[in-house]
């Protein structure tokens, strides 16, 4: 690491950092350059009031602001996010967002009291109601073939440029019903990657019934909640779901697919959507 300021340059970091490292293999070591993904404090600020600090990869932050604001139900519609400015400081980044005045009381009532760690989607929530949000039923949607889900998982790999370079990075992708990933976002946090994807989809005006979401992580209930807010009918994860994720998906009408790896997948809820 050549920068003598170290922690004093976090806000200006690029997504990847080059470091010197020693690699051991079969009893021998070699020194070389490795790339590691950055993990940066990102403060979401609404109308001048800090809301939460999230640990995130410093890329696609405008998408993150919109996706987080929608899936956390801080705003009612994308148009409520009237402005977004990414401001970099010595030890972190602020996403300074202007929102419609009608949203200010909701945001104030949900301000978090802890930093959102990399693997945490609900850190700082101070009530059960703040965690288990309003249920969002999803529309029926068209059937998806198992082979399309398999293709989407494989296709997502080609969109994971940060993970290919450094590892330790999650991805969330938007796939057509035929299994072609048309859009993807990456982040060290799986929730952040999904929020970035949802923000990008909303900015593009994508109809959520025309495809499905695929993620390179487990399917926790927060991930399910975020997909139901988007309105997509199916979520496929390469790892397994939690019990609460299955409960929420079942009640919301979401098809939840886990262990989507190779030719194998397991459908936990609403299996009628997965058909040849």
Q: Tell me: do 263 and 182 sit in the same domain.
A: yes
Long-range contacts of 145-148 (CB under 8 A, 24+ apart): 145/179, 145/274, 145/275, 145/276, 146/265, 146/274, 146/276, 147/179, 147/276, 148/175, 148/177, 148/178, 148/179
Instruction: Among 63, 98, 130, give the residue marking a domain's end.
Output: 130
- The reply to whether 250 and 217 lie within a common domain is yes
Q: Are 220 and 199 in contact (CB under 8 A)?
A: no
Give residue 132's pLDDT.
64
Q: Same domain for 68 and 115?
A: yes
Is residue 135 in some structural domain? no
Mean of the per-residue pLDDT values of the chain = 91
Instruction: Report if residue 178 sits inside a domain.
Output: yes
Cβ contacts of 173 within 8 Å, gap of 6 or more? 152, 155, 156, 159, 181, 183, 184, 197, 213, 214, 215
| Distance of alpha carbon 63 from the chain centroid | 10
Whether residues 173 and 245 fall in one domain: yes
Alpha-carbon torsion (200, 161, 1, 53), positive or negative: positive
Q: What is the pLDDT of residue 276?
A: 81
Q: Output the domain CATH number for residue 83.
A: 3.10.20.10
Verify that 27 and 60 share a domain, yes or no.
Answer: no
Residues 99 and 85: beta-carbon distance below 8 Å: no
Are 267 and 173 in the same domain?
yes
34-62 pLDDT tens trace:
999 999 999 999 999 999 999 999 999 99
Q: Tell me, what's the pLDDT at 160? A: 97
Tell me, yes or no, whether 217 and 161 share the same domain. yes
Tokens of 54: 């999230």
Q: Do 88 and 100 share a domain, yes or no?
A: yes
Q: How many other C-beta atoms are found inside a 10 Å radius of the C-beta of residue 44? A: 25
Question: Residue 82 sits in which domain range?
Answer: 40-130
Write the pLDDT tens digit of every residue in 174-227: 999 999 999 999 999 999 999 999 999 999 999 999 999 999 999 999 999 999
Pairing mode, strands 181-187 and 264-267: unpaired
In-domain check, residue 141: no
End-of-domain residue from the set 74, 106, 130: 130
Task: Name the phi and psi angles at 58, rounded to 5.
Answer: -80, 70
CA distance linking residue 124 with residue 122, whole number of Å:
6
Judgement on whether residues 153 and 208 belong to the same structural domain of the protein: yes
Looking up residue 213, the CATH number of its domain turns out to be 3.40.140.10
Structure tokens given for 48? 């001048």
Residues 126 and 74 in one domain: yes
Asked if residue 136 belongs to a domain, the reply is no
The pTM is what?
A: 0.91
Domain count, the chain: 3
Tell whether 265 is covered by a domain.
Answer: yes
Query: Is residue 120 helix, strand or coil?
Result: coil
Let me know whether 219 and 100 are in one domain: no
CA 14 to chain centre: 19
Q: Are residues 150 and 220 in the same domain?
A: yes
Q: How far is CA 209 from CA 194, 215, 251, in A?
A: 17, 17, 18
Report pLDDT digits (tens) over 107-160. Answer: 998 876 545 555 555 554 444 455 667 889 999 889 999 999 999 999 999 999
Sign of CA dihedral 138, 121, 38, 85: positive
Q: Has residue 138 been placed in a domain?
A: no
Q: Mark out the alpha helices in 51-174 (DSSP H runs).
A: 61-71, 104-109, 128-131, 146-157, 161-166
Active site residue 123: no
Task: Please identify which of the residues 16, 106, 120, 206 carries the catalytic annotation.
Answer: 120
Of 130, 158, 180, the residue at which a domain comes to its end is 130
Residue 236 within any structural domain of the chain: yes
């Amino acid at each position: 690491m050549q920068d003598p300021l170290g922690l004093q340059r976090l806000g200006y970091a690029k997504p990847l950092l080059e470091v010197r490292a020693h690699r051991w293999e079969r009893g021998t070591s070699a020194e070389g350059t490795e790339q590691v993904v950055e993990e940066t404090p990102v403060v979401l600020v609404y109308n001048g009031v800090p809301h939460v600090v999230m640990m995130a990869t410093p890329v696609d932050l405008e998408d993150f602001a919109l996706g987080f604001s929608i899936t956390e139900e801080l705003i009612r519609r994308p148009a409520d996010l009237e402005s977004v400015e990414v401001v970099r400081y010595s030890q972190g980044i602020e996403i300074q967002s202007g929102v419609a005045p009608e949203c200010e009381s909701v945001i104030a009532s949900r301000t978090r009291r802890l930093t959102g760690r990399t693997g945490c989607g609900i850190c700082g929530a101070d009530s059960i109601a703040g965690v288990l949000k309003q249920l969002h039923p999803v529309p029926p949607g068209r059937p998806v073939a198992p082979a399309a889900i398999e293709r989407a998982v494989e296709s997502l790999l080609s969109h994971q440029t940060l993970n290919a370079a450094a590892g330790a990075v999650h991805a969330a992708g938007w796939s057509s019903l035929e299994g072609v990933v048309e859009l993807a976002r990456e982040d060290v946090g799986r929730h952040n990657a999904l929020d970035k994807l949802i923000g990008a989809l909303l900015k593009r005006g994508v109809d959520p019934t025309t495809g499905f979401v695929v993620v390179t992580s487990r399917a926790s209930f927060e991930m399910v909640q975020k997909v139901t807010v988007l309105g997509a009918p199916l979520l496929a994860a390469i790892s397994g779901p939690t019990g609460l994720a299955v409960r929420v998906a079942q009640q919301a009408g979401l098809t939840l697919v886990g262990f989507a790896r190779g030719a194998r997948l397991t459908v936990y809820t609403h299996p009628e959507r997965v058909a040849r």
